[in-house]
Structure 1
Amino acid sequence: MHTLLPDPYILMLTGSGLLIALVAWLPLALKRLPLSLPIVCIGIGAAIFLLPQVSLRPLPYRYPEVTERFAEFVVIIALMGAGLKIDRVFGWRRWSITWRLLAITMPLGILAITGLAMGALGLPLAVALLLAASLAPTDPVLAADVQVGPPKTGDEDEVRFGLTSEAGLNDGAAFPFVHLAILLAAALPAGKPWLTEWLTYRVLWEIVGGILGGWLVGRVFGWLTFHIPAETKLARTGDGLIAISATLVSYGLTEIIHVYGFLAVFVTALTFRGAHRDHEFQDEMHAITEQIERLAMMVLLILFGGALVSGLLATVTWIDAVVALVVLLVVRPITGWLGLIGWSGDRGEKLTLSFFGIRGVGSIYYLAYGTNHMPVDNVEHLWGIVGLIVLLSVLLHGLTVTPIMRSLDERRGVDPEATGVPPPGLQGPARDA
């Protein structure tokens, strides 16, 4: 006798097929709407997990290891994608906007959020610092709509370049502050020294090692792909999965020697791109990376939508909500503006760069990593705060990205529809660096 309920495996196959179809179709459907792909994914997740037949409650603090590892995977794929699509040759002056956002905006943001968390939320120093470091990076995953276009399209104005390069580098640059929070949580109660270990190991060694390790892996893959004097060079395969290979090798090898893998992956991507900037294989690598990133992102955000309707925000108070709004509407815009003082961009560009400090998957990863490596009382409350900020960021930035970026392009005399760049981003031609 046949049961009326379908086999869960068959349901999973059907759902996976529908998800893959949405990965391909939704960016096109949303291109002209004031909606973003992350908003739709969260809505789909909320609808799925509200069904009475679905008993799973994907709360991140119930599955801390899974949350950390899955978010980690999504971030490293996004970092490779971000690095591969940057056309601008690396240089201190050409990347000056990036250094401003990294060296001024991010540390000021961490300092401000730490003080806010201690003063308004009553969190201890180590936990407040972990929260601040988790919320510091501009997310490389959810910021796709404000990033540069695919390789060699010339769609790289200052705003899109600044936000793409910032998202690529500050995920690695935030890690020392996460480790500082972990060190303080262990050292302060015991009265142990911590500064020397943090500066020499967590800052100097892990940053320098991550950069060098990423550069070496990028050089090796660049040579094997484009320059090896043989018919077996990897570019001849036409298989963009080589970029995923480079991502995993770079991250794995650098993590083995205990340096910052996030930083290494982005440096690998930049070096790999620089090995042969105009080769058509760059397009193949970027395309497959973007597809895998989008699919993984959609799965994660569907689970995030499920967490929201499963009680992720149950511990959030009105004070937490005020703090969340201050982080998004006050801290990032002000610190972003301070970081851009003296930069030659016009007022509209500065406002856009300061406003789009998108918080997302990177924040989820860092909080999962931190809470898995240090004791945190009432971890549900911390997850509720970060979950609220991520949700507000997705809504606020997702609803405003299309009109703001379109307005920015129009002020620059650019027709975003004339670029021929496929969605999800609305890109415009580059300005001379």
Structure 2
Amino acid sequence: MDQYIVIISVIGIAALGMAWMPSVSQKTGISYAIFYTLAGVLIYWAFPHLLPNPDPRTHQTYTRHLTEMVVIISIFGTAIKIDRPLKWKSWQNPIRLVTIALVGCIGTAALLGYAFFSMDVASALLLGAVLAPTDPVLASDVQVGPPNENIKFETKFALTAEAGMNDGLALPFVLLAITLSHMMFKGEGSVWVWLSYEVIVRMAIGLVVGYIIGRMLGYLIFTMGNKFNMMETRDGFVALSLTLMVYGLTEVVHGYGFIAVFVAGLTLRNYQSQHNYHDKLHAFADQTERIMVAIVLILFGGSLLSGVLDGLTWRMVMFSVLFLFVLRPLTSFLSLISCKLHTREKWVISFFGIRGMGSVYYLSYALKEAEFPFAQQLWTIVSFTILLSIIVHGLTATTVMKRMERRFAKEIKM
């Protein structure tokens, strides 16, 4: 049987299934991430030689670029559905999550990795940096709905904004791990260069480029579109075009593309925020993301059969359990302790820090750029943590969010 035909058939069936998955998840209370991961396991069990090798360790370059693509599309889709204007008072909860909680989670996870596995400093830091950010790709069950839904629900807003922001803010710590590795094995690099260039300069470039392009496109679409018929467009694929353009141009000038994509999406979203064109942009981004997520999850399910978990130990299991059920919830809850939220909201926000494809991207990126003695162990720990997160959060997110929404969501009169 022709491998190409099998591949396009699987992609077509998986993509078609995504048309009904949101409804299925709402009815069953089970995230579609579980269904597609299980499908990946079954498909690769049935046709192991007719599909591409799913082992991320074997094809790290392809893994990096595929997960990179799905993450940036997800980040833009996350930004375009946030209705809230950028003000400190209304954004303080997610800002605390991506600063205090993120740094605390990276630090404690690194210490735990060092204590559990006797890792070198660079590998331990990489473990913390890779696992700390909440994944925007698999977090749709705990995020806000489409633009202009007229519902204020702080729990979902905090998780949505956190997922959009923290990928760009976690990347500097991945680069710090790479810098430490270079210092250890090559005698190159310095923490000062990392702080001045990787943190300050590249973040600033990402913010500026994202804002400028988002503002310019808003002007072209809305202001110029209203004045000149020739400039009017209502095509949804602009969402994907903008995502790729912003990310590419920002990386060309050595800025952080993740940050730029999120800022561009927010900037465009706040340009004539009540316009119904934002719904088209979100719909196209969401549909594109779901198709890619279907492919990535099937590959992830297949990777579980390829040996990525062969080195799993009880220490690794214990680390993942502690990370998901203690470290992430505790650091996040402490960062929100002074916020004006109900205690139950704080715990729900803290618990639903879903791990996913962002972690795979960071790990494949770092292992391509530097030498890490614990590379195989890192793949095993990260893969198992993602799997555990998919199962635990996938079985609970929909049900918990429905209950929380009934209690805490408020309708906004427009």
TM-score (norm: length of structure 1): 0.92
Give, in angstroms, the shift of residue 292 of structure 1.
0.3
Determine the structure 2 residue equivalent to 1:332: 328
Which one of 154, 163, 183 corresponds to residue 167 of structure 1?
163
In structure 2, relative to structure 1, the CA distance for the partners of 1:52 and 1:96 (3 Å cut) is: closer
Q: Which deviates further from its counterpart, 322-331 or 194-203?
A: 194-203
The alignment status of 1:188 with 2:188, answered yes or no, reads: no
Partner of 2:228: 230
Contact 1:149 1:156 in 2 (8 A): no
Asked if the contact 1:32/1:402 (under 8 Å) is kept, the reply is no
* CA displacement at 1:377 relative to structure 2: 2.3
Distance 1:53 1:266 in 2: 38
CA distance in 2 between counterparts of 1:140 and 1:195 reads 29
Q: Which amino acid aligns with 2:118?
A: G
What is the identity, as a one-letter code, of the residue corresponding to 2:44? Answer: F
Q: Show the counterpart of 2:38.
A: 43
Is it true that 1:111 corresponds to 2:107 in the alignment? yes
- Write the mapping of 1:269-348 to structure 2, written as runs, cut at 5 A: 269-348=265-344
Distance 1:12 1:185, change over 3 A: closer
Structure 1 residue 27, shift from structure 2 partner = 1.6
Distance in 2, Cα, partners of 1:42 & 1:112: 29
Paired with 2:332 and 2:230, the residues of 1 have a C-alpha distance of 47
| Distance (Å, rounded) in 2 between the aligned partners of 1:77 and 1:170 | 15
Counterpart in the other structure of 2:213: 217
Task: Mark the CA change 1:287 to 1:356 in structure 2 (over 3 Å): closer, same or farther.
Answer: same
Q: Alpha-carbon deviation of 1:156?
A: 3.8
Q: Which one of 65, 71, 92 corresponds to residue 69 of structure 1?
A: 65
Residue identity in the other structure for 2:25: L
**CA–CA distance in 1 between the matches of 2:7 and 2:191?**
50
Amino acid of the residue matched to residue 315 of structure 1?
G
Quick one: structure 1 residues 53 and 307, their matched pair in 2 at CA, closer, same or farther if it must change by over 3 Å? closer
Post-superposition shift, 1:376? 1.8
Residues 274-309 of structure 1, C-alpha deviations (whole Å, 9 max, x = no match): 112111111111000000001101100100000001
**Residue identity opposite 1:329 in structure 2:** F
Identify the residue that residue 241 of structure 2 maps to in structure 1: 245
Which residue does 1:419 correspond to in 2?
none
2:14 to 15, 19, 29: 19
User: 2:184 & 2:47 partners in 1: Cα distance?
Assistant: 47
> Which residue type is aligned with residue 266 of structure 1?
F
Equivalent position amino acid for 2:291 in 1? L
Structure 1 range deviating more: 223-232 or 35-44: 223-232
Give the conservation status (yes or no) of the 8 Å contact 2:179–2:189: no
* TM-aligned CA distance change 1:50 to 1:386, over 3 Å: same
- Which structure 1 residue ranges, 5 or more long, are not aligned? 413-427
Listed one character per residue, the Cα deviations across residues 230-263 of structure 1 (whole Å, up to 9, x for unaligned) are: 2122xx3321001111101100000001110000
Rounded to whole Å, the distance in 2 between the matches of 1:402 and 1:53 is 33
- Contact kept, 8 Å, 1:64 with 1:368, in 2: the verdict is yes
Q: Give the fraction of aligned pairs with identical amino acids, expressed as a percent.
A: 40
Distance 1:431 1:198, change over 3 A: farther
Query: 1:191 offset after TM fit, Å?
Result: 5.3
**8 Å CA contact retained: 1:358, 1:394:** yes
Name which of structure 1's ranges 164-173 and 371-380 shifts more when overlaid on structure 2.
Answer: 371-380
When structure 1 is superposed on structure 2, of 199-208 and 20-29 the one drifting more is: 20-29
In structure 2, how many angstroms separate the alpha carbons of the residues matched to 1:249 and 1:282?
18
Amino acid at match of 1:21: L
1:369 pairs with 2:365: yes
Q: Give the 4+ runs in structure 1 shifted more than 6 A.
A: none
Cα displacement string for residues 138-188 of structure 1 (whole angstroms, at most 9, x for unaligned residues):
100100010011000123411111001011111000011011001111113
Q: Which runs of 5+ in 2 are unaligned?
A: none
Please give the per-residue CA displacement for 1:66-111, whole angstroms capped at 9, x wherever unaligned. Answer: 0000000000000000000000001111101111111210000000
Can you list the C-alpha shifts for 1:285-341, whole angstroms capped at 9, x where unaligned? 100000000110110010000000121100111101000101100000100111001
Task: Tell me if 1:179 matches 2:175.
Answer: yes
Residue in structure 2 matched with residue 129 of structure 1 by the alignment: 125
Letter paired with 2:406: E
Alpha carbons 1:158, 1:430 under 8 Å: kept: no
Q: CA RMSD in A?
A: 1.6
Contact 1:316 1:385 (C-alpha < 8 Å) held by counterparts: yes
**Alpha-carbon distance, 1:30 to partner:** 2.2
Q: 1:37 to 1:205 in 2, by over 3 A?
A: same
In 2, the alpha carbon distance for the partners of 1:145 and 1:190 equals: 44
Q: 1:9 to 1:63 in 2, by over 3 A?
A: closer
AA partner of residue 26 (structure 2): K
